[in-house]
Homo-oligomer: A and B are copies of this chain.
């Protein structure tokens, strides 16, 4: 257990604990959990608190509860790592079991465009840091990245050598990116980018234009990523209302 005392709300700790236990296989698929009464006693929390946690796990489809019967693990290996899950490109490549790399192309600070001003709701005098890179997986180019960050947010000193902007913002600027709104667009051929990614003319690109926000809902990073469609696969779980 980590040293840091867990100041988060109890119900969140219970959620994490239960997810861990399911992950560890302590409760197996379709298996019945202990009754709420027993489970609350085991975890050392009240039944009310436990129930708040269970309610959310139910909403997330991790468990299912049947009135008068019990609570069961629902461990469909559920569509993990779909596009709804936000990860840095670095992490995406790692998760595919490949070694991420970076080819640095250029960086500069520029005056914001009108779009930038809208996006970051910043003043015209604030400068925007722009960086272009090619990301590689096992040495092969797979993503073309354009990243824009308002200069004031960046730490004074940072090197382009860093792989992950997420990490720079997290550790250097203490701004944890928590979510992003992604626009999805197909792109048949781009005369500059396709050759860089070593694409045949018939290999299409998938473009993700993303505005990233931190915990305070402040926009901190805008990025445009061009993915080689044959190297990446995106899927979404779509729910009907």
Shortest Cβ distance from A48 into chain B, in angstroms?
Answer: 5
Q: A240-B86, A240-B179 are in contact. Are A206 and B234 (CB under 8 A)?
A: no
* Pairwise interchain contact A189-B177, C-beta atoms closer than 8 A: no
Number of copies: 2
Q: Is the CB of B233 within 8 A of A183?
A: yes
Q: How large is the interface on A (under 10, 10 to 19, 20 to 34, 35 or more residues)?
A: 35 or more
Residues of B within 8 A of A233 (CB): 183
Question: Are A234 and B184 within 8 A (Cβ)?
Answer: yes
How far is A180 from B240 in the complex, measured between Cα atoms in Å? 8
List residues of chain B with CB within 8 A of the CB of A56: 55-56, 59
Segment touching B, from A26-34, A77-85, A128-136, A154-162: A77-85
A205 contact from B87, B179, B186, Cβ within 8 A: B186
Q: A179-B240, A182-B238 are in contact. List 6 more A-B contacts (CB 8 A).
A: A84-B239, A179-B239, A181-B237, A186-B204, A186-B206, A189-B202
List 10 A–B pairs whose Cβ atoms lie within 8 Å, in order of A's numbering.
A56-B56, A84-B236, A85-B239, A86-B240, A178-B240, A179-B240, A181-B237, A184-B184, A185-B186, A204-B204
